[in-house]
Structure 1
Amino acid sequence: MGPTNELGLPSISRKSYTIAGIAVTVFGLDELTFDAAEIACLWLLHPRLATQESMFGVADTILNDWNKSKRPSLEDVKLVTMGLIAVTFDQRNHGTREIDPLVNKSWKQGNPRHAQDLFSIFQGTARDVSLLIDCIPAYIFPTPEKTVTEHIVLGVSLGGHAAWSCLFHEPRITCGVVIIGCPDYVNLMADRARLSKLPSWVNGDPPGSQFLGSEDFPLPLLEAVRKYDPAGLLLSQIDIHSIDHHQPLRENPLPDPPEIDKQILLPLMKRCLSGKRILILSGGVDKLVPYHRGEPLLTWLKKAIAPNGWFADGRIHLEDIIFEKAGHEMTSAMIEEASRFVGDYLSEDPASTSSLVREAKI
């Protein structure tokens, strides 16, 4: 038996590269079989205040699971020919890229620009993923025997927010796992402002009415959120009379869009989400990124993409699993679900993908 990691799993090979000025670690190159001409790349995005090393165990687990599943099968040629690698790197202002430690802190920890800093860091990470997708094949496969044909993203917390952006804005990302992340930045940060008792929140009448557009959440940030955040992007297309865009906290179910708005949303949804597979893993007692802050948007989205929904032909497969006793953490059970989801995605026939919404509480 070969060397094992701290989890007792066989250690997956690691190779280090400097790509576009970013220190990148690639897992699994040595384990690729000769007949694996097509390669899937799993991008692993770490939490806030962590580094790429925190995702090494995830890489080992998922790649070990996939490599064990690859057995010659007359029924499923894809299992034989598809190889899987994983990539980690430090998010902006983290690890080897840290410039100012305060930028990674929250309002309560003394950072007055928490909303701007958090958003810009994980959006920067999403753009780094796109840049690295462009560049990495020339480093790891400089000869044509192997080609990267699939891209999957898995992000945790800060990395989960970035994963949502990758799913919406990078067409080459066709599958994603979001662990304790949120698709509604305004709702998340408004709740955090309320709990932090920011003056821009408590001094409004009613409380919170002055938060958006204040120094704590400036209008240029709100404009960026409406371009890149899933909730900001989708809900900004809805008629202003059917949804209160000035109320920062979304507590209630969102209304179905009227037909005129659907005609605007349909091409946007098609461009961002058609044919994609998404797994959402959340902690039921998570206080830092509470599930209920993303729930209004997720409920609205699940209704739209369901088999009888108004965007059923988008062929989106979405699984939403809540681990009821988990907090703001990535548990071993979450990693198991993520590994199962990635394996299922790589094993399926893309032509057979149809709309599916699965919800579960564990």
Structure 2
Amino acid sequence: MYTIQTGSAQAVSFLIGHLSSFLYPSGERTIVEWGIAGMSLGGHSTWIALSREPRLSLGIPIVRCPDYTKLISQRAASSGIPLSPPYFPTSLKTFIKTHDPAQLAYRAKDTSSPFLGKKVLVLSGKEDRTVPWVASAEFVEGLEVGEGGVKRVVVVEGVGHEYTSGMQK
């Protein structure tokens, strides 16, 4: 699952690097702002891409979690699976400790935060059992986007792991 999330985030960076030349081969326009939105697995990838790709200025993660370890720990506990090899390899833990958005300086109010100056709209269902809000709450509440950034959080009562028409609005 984490491989899909990180791979999708890398694909976004690849597309940003090449899309302009495909869309505007004669240089008739310049793309000056990039954004990303994703739901569920795509929402996890949205958090990773926002934390790694400086050209992204806007992100909308929908029913997702920016803290992989917290999310997978809850899932493992509820399934009676230990967070140890072979289920959770040491090499994966090491990678996550250095690359996951929750392991970065997301609370910093200086340029060490990869989210500084970005616009982030977080959409979540309060009754989501697949990606419980509790797994994301600490990160999202502590997320610092700085004076130039915007953070808006919408946790919808009575909504599970879904993207409702109210969220779309």
User: TM-score scaled to structure 2, two decimals?
Assistant: 0.92
Matches within 5 A, 1:141-220: 141-198=24-81, 200=82, 211=83, 213-220=84-91
Matches within 5 A, 1:251-262: none
CA distance in 2, matches of 1:275, 1:121: 27
CA distance in 2, matches of 1:187, 1:233: 14
CA distance in 1, matches of 2:27, 2:103: 41
Matches within 5 A, 1:69-84: none
CA RMSD after TM alignment:
1.9
Matches within 5 A, 1:100-139: 118-139=1-22
Whether the 8 Å contact between 2:110 and 2:116 is mirrored in structure 1 is no
In structure 1, give the amino acid aligned to 2:120.
I
Instruction: Name the residue aligned to 1:94.
Output: none
Q: Is residue 115 of structure 2 the alignment partner of residue 273 of structure 1?
A: yes
CA distance in 1, matches of 2:62, 2:26: 35
Q: Which has the higher contact order (CA 8 A, sep 6+)?
A: 2
Whether the 8 Å contact between 2:44 and 2:61 is mirrored in structure 1 is yes
Q: Is residue 66 of structure 2 the alignment partner of residue 222 of structure 1?
A: no
Gaps of 5+ in 1: 1-117, 201-210, 236-256, 306-310, 337-362
CA distance in 2, matches of 1:147, 1:280: 28
Matches within 5 A, 1:1-362: 118-198=1-81, 200=82, 211=83, 213-234=84-105, 266-269=110-113, 272-301=114-143, 305=144, 312-313=146-147, 315-336=148-169
**Highest CA radius of gyration, 1 or 2?**
1
CA distance in 2, matches of 1:228, 1:325: 33
Whether the 8 Å contact between 1:225 and 1:233 is mirrored in structure 2 is no
Whether the 8 Å contact between 1:154 and 1:178 is mirrored in structure 2 is yes
- In the TM superposition, what whole-angstrom CA distance separates every residue of 1:79-136 from its partner, at most 9, and x where no partner exists? xxxxxxxxxxxxxxxxxxxxxxxxxxxxxxxxxxxxxxx0011100000010011111
In structure 2, give the amino acid aligned to 1:227.
T
CA distance in 2, matches of 1:146, 1:233: 34
Whether the 8 Å contact between 2:44 and 2:66 is mirrored in structure 1 is yes
Instruction: Figure out how many residues of one structure are paired with residues of the other and give that number.
Output: 169
Q: What fraction of aligned residue pairs are identical, expressed as a percent?
A: 33
Tell me, what secondary structure is at the counterpart of 1:282?
strand
CA distance in 1, matches of 2:45, 2:9: 5
In structure 2, give the amino acid aligned to 1:328.
H
